[in-house]
Chain A
């Protein structure tokens, strides 16, 4: 593997000029993946600018903050949320994330993505006199099963959790049924509730004893976590490096539409729209074969025609592509080759074209990748780039290894 690192390092040095000339290549590498935030992507939001609330209260707080307490249109706001997780409908733990039933797969993978842009004079990509909004969705129709290593790790974590829970619950039950002070508070609480239960608006969870009992229970918990610390450490060791890898067939669907509100009025027109269908199969050996269908609609798009004249027209493109990749399980090295054919559905606009790309990547640590790319881009130019993709992920992971 050291040879691979050296080879990629050399390629990085000799190609650094190309990386500087064409730094957008890193985003094009993900062309065969549906966008994780389809709505936000249509309005060019960076991943770090997208809020992802995990509770209904957080969602409402996010809306409220963005709109100044629901009094104004947000200036720049993007949000992704899983509707079923927000409503706590369905199971989301690893024991159920392996389900291949469509109902579960859909609930666990459905994401709603919304964006708003109220551009000011500093925003060059949008007209400052207009307002923009977008709505997107993403879900999986099918996904693969856990691979053997994922199953093995989860099984080991489960066995250790059962051992810990057996010991912890036994000791905790002993505390809850024998601790003199805890039992005294419990009796006093019962008497208090019986005496006040008939009162209007009485809340049985707001007695003077609840906090006292919770504190005693928390103290007992802390002592037990120290006593059983070795077991917790063993679980932590396995769980810290855990990552879900799947094998088998998957199929993801994503789509979105962006609207442009002329002069910030209710009169709106489509700004852009797209729909993605990504599918493929991963194998235990590390091989993967993937396919893509993508439709993009861009009204009033400027482009160069056959006579090299700048034209403006509604542009509709349809992409179809395939990719083969190899990433040996447990290895940080990944190699892939992909081809995408693009056809224009609107006659008299752009000519059909294609893209070919070969890519090699080496994961050199948390959020850092050394990569080399070679191929032909849609515009016919031969591209070659290599770079250390670190900046963006350092931002997202700053202070935390995620």
Chain B
């Protein structure tokens, strides 16, 4: 499987006031990471910054405020595990038209190498 270190996705939102949330899951077991997520476009806001490991469900904003905004998530995952060089970042979005999961992954060459992930999710209201 070829690595997927970058990803551009689209999350459909509705004309409601329900909050859209994002959850980040980092792996594999034994790796060490820091992750930052920022909203750009019509709304500019830091959603999370320099967080180690996985990030529990966090509010991005109400559906009807997110059109024309983009959630940019950057992460660095160091392969500190002595058992595996596999690194991954799962982005789970909820609250919009439907739940969605994006998966970015990379198997680095050796222990200590870094996987860098960049994911941009455009919010489009339908």
Contacts and interface: CB of A to CB of B under 8 A. Distances in A.
Instruction: Give the contact-size bracket for chain B.
Output: 35 or more
A237 B8 contact: no
B19 interface: no
A244 B120 CA distance: 33
Given A93-B32, A197-B124, A197-B126, A239 B10 contact: no
Contacts of A16: none
Given A93-B31, A93-B54, A236-B114, A176 B126 contact: no
A232 interface: yes
A237 B111 CA distance: 10
A239 B38 contact: no
- Chain A's interface: helix, strand, loop or mixed, by majority? helix
A222 to B, nearest CB: 9
Contacts of B113: 236, 239-240
Interface of B is mostly: strand
A243 B82 contact: yes
Contact of B40 (A82, A88, A97, A173): A173
Contact of A97 (B5, B30, B50): B30
Contacts of B30: 92-94, 97, 244
Contacts of A242: 32, 80, 82, 111-112
Interface of B: 5-12, 25-36, 38, 40, 50, 52-54, 68, 70, 72, 74-76, 78-80, 82-86, 90, 110-114, 116, 118, 120, 122, 124, 126
Given A176-B40, A221-B5, A221-B116, 14 more contacts: A85-B27, A88-B25, A94-B53, A96-B54, A172-B118, A176-B72, A189-B10, A193-B124, A210-B10, A214-B8, A239-B79, A239-B111, A239-B113, A239-B114
